[in-house]
Amino acid sequence: MGNFSDHIVNQRFSTVFHELEKRNIIKGKSDIAKKLGTYNHVINSILKGQRNITVDQLNKLFDNYGVNANFLFGNSPHMFMPDADSPGGVAVRDLEDRQFSAGGNIVLAPLRALAGDAVDQDIAAGSDLPRFSVPGLEGDLIAVEISGDSMLPTITNGDLVICERLDRGAPIRDNQVYVVVTDVVVAKRVQQLKSGDSAGHLRLISDNDAVYKPYEVDLEDVKQILQVKCRLTTYAIS
């Protein structure tokens, strides 16, 4: 079994946990487990380095305790958001109220790009969306949470993929992973199917090809393509 305590987010979660206890904001593992929608033994396993905290649990941590997401990712020394307004000095914020740093360059897209069963909605990238930063990742980027198993083992359920928008007509590299937006949103490997000198269709391929078969989409039906630059999995960058 891997030592999950090596991962920066798990380390920082342990620091946050003990600080919340010190401030008497929580009264132990059961208290925070209830707020994070999990169980006492799960929190205990995270603190012992036996499992990772999940994306959903992180969101609830930000939501309930005003924890600074950039601190969790190792990109800020400030544990909590600055507008502390709860007893004990921790800001309590709704998820929609930017639990992520407003100064980050990565937009957290309000959707899941299902790597198996696609979700029927477009990517919105308004300026009011949650943002965060990751050391070494620059530019105007979008993070999408993956749900599903069709891209196993390359991308696993709950991973965040960090993507760069491609302009229409920009070159696509065959067999690379992209988030493709048509009437649905999927993360797949892409191959261009050319008619003459230009590509007319895209073949979308799952890495878990024993279960999910390739299929084709008309390029005219593609509203947007995001190039996957890296993924955040078990809260390390790969």
- The full 3-state SS of 60-125, as one line of letters, equals HHHHHHCECHHHHCCCCCCCECCCCCCCCCCCCCCHHHCCCCCCCCEEEEEEEEECCCCECCCCCC
For 60-87, write each residue's pLDDT tens digit. 898 889 888 878 877 678 888 765 443 3
Torsion angle, CA of 111/113/117/122, rounded to 10 degrees?
60
**Which of 208, 201, 195, 193 has the alpha carbon at shortest distance from 222?**
201
Please, which residues bridge with residue 80 across strands? Answer: 67
Q: What is the pLDDT of residue 188?
A: 95
Tens digit of each residue's pLDDT (9 = 90 or more) over 115-169:
555 555 555 444 566 777 776 778 889 888 888 889 988 888 878 889 998 988 8
Tell me how far apart the alpha carbons of residues 9 and 66 are, in angstroms, rounded to a whole number: 16
Per-domain residue ranges for the chain? 4-97, 106-237
Distance of alpha carbon 156 from alpha carbon 159, whole angstroms: 6
Q: Among 21-35, 94-108, 173-187, 212-226, where is mean pLDDT lowest?
A: 94-108
Q: 9 by DSSP, 3-state: which?
A: helix
CATH number of the structural domain 106-237: 2.10.109.10
For 176-232, how does the pLDDT look when each residue is reduced to its tens digit (9 = 90+)?
A: 999 998 888 899 999 999 877 777 899 999 999 999 999 999 998 998 899 998 887
pLDDT exceeds 50 at position 235: no
Contact 100/109 with Cβ under 8 angstroms?
no
Structure token digits, residue 205: 């391929």
Q: If DSSP codes are grouped into helix, strand and coil, which group holds residue 41? A: helix
Name the residue with higher pLDDT: 11 or 73: 11
Topology adopted by domain 4-97: 434 Repressor (Amino-terminal Domain) (1.10.260)
Q: What is the pLDDT of residue 123?
A: 57
Structure tokens at 198: 């230009």
In the structure encoding, which two tokens stand for residue 200, read together?
A: 């007319």
What's the predicted TM-score (pTM) here?
A: 0.57
Cα distances (angstroms) measured from residue 151 to each of 31, 66, 109, 164 = 36, 33, 19, 19
Q: Of 71, 84, 64, whose CA–CA distance to 13 is shortest? A: 71
